[in-house]
Every structure is written in C-alpha cells, then in structure tokens.
Amino acid sequence: MASTQNNAVIETISADLMGADGVSVGVATLTKRNDGIFLNVKAQASTAGTFGMHLHSVGKCEGPDFASAGGHWNPEVKQHGRDNPMGAHGGDLPNAVAGVDKKVILEFRMPEILLKGDGGLLDADGAALIIHEKPDDYKTDPTGNSGKRMICGVFKG
C-alpha cells in the first residue's frame, strides 16, 4: 500500500502476550509506517508498577520462565541500555508502566530498526517481546537488572 501520507500503514505484525501460566494478557503490534516503525503494547499486568521491556532474539515463548526467547535482540553487538556508553541493544525498549488499574498501554517509535532482511528483527525464527518483573535501569549489561521474565509474545514475519 503506497501513500504520500507520513503515517500511512505499510505493514502490521502482532504478538499475543501471555503470562507465565499461559493465560492471554494482551497484544503487542509492530507497525511499519512511512514515518517509522512503532511498537504498541496493550496488556494487563499482575500488579501496578514499572517493568523492563525488551525485544528478544528468538520467537519462542515457553513458560514459565520464557528462557526460550533467548537474549535481547542485539544485531550490532552492543551492551545493554540507553545510558550505557557501550549500548544500547537493538532490543532495548522503554520501561512499561502499569497504573493502579494494572493496564499497560504504550506506543513507542523504534529508532533505526529494520523489521526484515539482513540484520532485521524478524529473521527465520521471529522475535519475542518480554516484559520483566522489575524496572530496567537502562545501563546494567545484559538485562538492566529487570529480573524475571513475566510476559512474553511472539512476532513472526
């Protein structure tokens, strides 16, 4: 779909988000538009709070620990965190915040990300979005001290 509008949608890829118990808790979408690639997350957390969130390199979400999703997507082999002078990973994202209603609603423009092709996020095994149990400190390699993996969803291209 070609368009001259800056926000025209070119492609949308969705991931159903699930908790460690396998129960659906929301959805995440990657939307490629003329003005960039955007991540949208709508999820229900188990508690209110701030949680680390990352794109992981393997599109597999086997509970309860989601270790099957591998490490953070890191095509340029950097260290973790926007505040780390040797970072950031391609999969580093802002923290997700759940209010008193425990809802996470987020839209984030992903700078300089390639969805498909050489070095793209969506390779043969896809990718995963992980929400962790604690906030990301944006500097500690390799995970920002964000703790256990609590929510996972698979993106397949």
In a domain, 1, yes or no: no
Residue 142 lies in a domain: yes
Q: Which two tokens mark 95?
A: 């923290």
Residue 157's pLDDT band (cuts 50, 70, 90): confident
Does residue 110 sit within a domain? yes
CATH code of residue 111: 2.60.40.200
Residue 2 lies in a domain: no
| The model's pTM | 0.91
Nearest-angstrom CA–CA distance, 131 and 24: 13
For residue 129, give its domain range: 9-155
Is residue 126 predicted with pLDDT exceeding 50? yes
Separation of CA 83 from chain center? 18
31 touches 12 (CB < 8 A): yes
The answer to whether position 137 is within a domain reads yes
Q: Of residues 82 and 104, which shows the higher confidence score? A: 104
Q: Most distant CA pair in the chain: distance in Å?
A: 45
Task: Specify the number of domains making up the chain.
Answer: 1
Q: What is the pLDDT of residue 114?
A: 83
Phi, psi of 156 (to 5 degrees): -125, 135
* Residues 66, 141: Cα–Cα separation, whole Å: 19
In a domain, 44, yes or no: yes
Q: Is the pLDDT score of 69 beyond 80?
A: yes
- Residue 38's nearest CA partner among 94, 76, 97 is 94
**Residue 146: which of 37, 72, 68 has the closest Cα?**
72
Any domain includes 3: no
Beta-strand relationship, 149-155 and 9-19: antiparallel
pLDDT in the model for residue 5: 60
Confidence of residue 120 (pLDDT cuts 50, 70, 90): confident
Q: Is residue 52 part of a domain?
A: yes
Confidence band for 142, pLDDT divided at 50, 70 and 90 = confident
- Matching residue, tokens 């999820």: 43
